[in-house]
Amino acid sequence: MSLQTEEIYRTLLLYSADAVIVTDCAGTITTTNPSFAKLVGAAVEELIGTSLANLVVADWEHAEEKTIGQNINADNSEAESAGDTQAVTILSRTGSELIMPAARFPLFNQKSGKPDGHLTIIYVIQANSLQQAQTEFVSTVSHELRTPLTSIKGFADTILRAGDRLDSSQQRRYVGIIKDQADRLTRLVEDLLAVSRLESKKLQLTIRALDLKEAIERVQQNLADKAKKHTVILQIPPGLTPVWADADRLEQILTNLIDNAIKYSQAGTTVTITAKGIQDTPEMVEFSVCDQGVGIPEEHLPQVFSKFGRLDNPLVRQTEGTGLGLYITRSLVLALGGQITVESVPGSTTFTVKLPAATPEQQAARGRG
């Protein structure tokens, strides 16, 4: 290694916010950096010669180990994937325990090529931003839960206190509000469970060839009551290639998009649902849901797919929603190997979803499997 390269590595080690530890074959620390020392509450010099296993509890046996070369060649997408990191517990000298993502790389002796120990990286920056996102999420969820709960408690208190002094129509109205708010809570909890399933990657998919027209018609029927004041038009060519998807998830995606199109457009307007093959990309099938509603300002378009991304406009304020629907929809589309985009101008919003087509090859492969 040239002197300059060595200097670069030394500086990186010294100033890296991530913790870096080199251990020999016995697991004894031979090199580490101030970031790791700070995590465990000790000085770098004190740590050299001690056993890493006493400071970091990890199940490396079951983790996928990277090799240094693999990492150097990795492109950004690979580097960002959390799949090959594992959660480790850091035991600080103050007695506190921290759980953080980490990865371990085997080291080999340059001359003999024999195993020479390990390089362990603890991703402190990633852990901190995860922690921050989690804190923000908990605070938003608490706020969202408190609003309907306050209303339920307020009206239940009124009924209890005023009792017989309320006439029957007042009583019915208050109980109606309690029921609506309880329904809102149920929806919120269901959406939160869906988010948690998606994020913990526990989503079980049953992929098969599905007729898009049938799925759209089923959802249209389920939403018929909500769409009573709208005209819903289907534009689906005969003989459309089926999609390669999970039936329940496809229905959920369609329900969220069509429900939004109805919610965020005035009565008397039209919602058009189109499905078609894509000329240049025969391996995908596309459908779109287009409304004549309030629209989404261009600068807010990316926000609609984020958690609790409700925009502020009169129609949104009038309608019920958790702000989780499009986040769930986008996650489901991605889980099915598809893409979702949105285009909007005042008076028209179109959500377009592309899903893998059920090509004869896929169906044949399934038959063999």
Residue ranges that bind ligand ADP, judged by CB under 6 A:
256, 260-261, 264, 291, 293-296, 304, 309-311, 316, 321-327, 349
In whole angstroms, the minimum distance from the beta carbon of 236 to ligand ADP comes to: 20
Q: Which H or E run contains 208?
A: strand 207-210
Residue type, 324: L
What is the rounded distance in angstroms from the CA atom of residue 329 to the CA atom of residue 12? 41
Taking the least distance from each CB to ligand ADP, the nearer of 123 and 351 is 351
Q: Can you read off the two tokens belonging to residue 51?
A: 């056993």
From the CB of 328, what's the least distance to ligand ADP, in Å?
Answer: 8
Residue 88 or 340: which CB sits closer to ligand ADP? 340
> What is the Cα Rg of the chain in Å?
28
What's the Cα-to-Cα distance from 192 to each of 7, 49, 144, 340, rounded to whole Å? Answer: 49, 47, 11, 21
Select 276 or 310, whichever has its Cβ closest to ligand ADP: 310
- Residue type at 290? C
- Write down the least CB distance from residue 351 to ligand ADP, Å: 7
- The candidate with the shortest Cα–Cα distance to 188, out of 148, 155, 159, is 148
Residue nearest to ligand ADP (CB): 321
Closer of 188 and 245 to ligand ADP (Cβ): 188
115-122 vs 19-23, strand pairing mode: antiparallel
66 vs 85: CA distance, rounded Å: 9
The residue (of 158 and 350) whose beta carbon lies closer to ligand ADP is: 350
Cβ–Cβ under 8 Å, residues 151 and 177: yes
Chain centre distance of CA 174: 37
In the bound state with ligand ADP, the residue whose beta carbon lies nearer, of 58 and 326, is 326
Cβ at position 192, least distance to ligand ADP in Å: 12
* Cβ proximity to ligand ADP, 100 vs 250, nearer residue: 250
Cα distance between residue 100 and residue 124, in whole Å: 7
- Determine phi and psi for 96, rounding to 5 degrees: -85, 155
Q: Encode burial over 205-237: b for 16+ CB neighbours within 10 A, e otherwise.
A: eebebbebbebbeebbeebeeebeebebeeebe
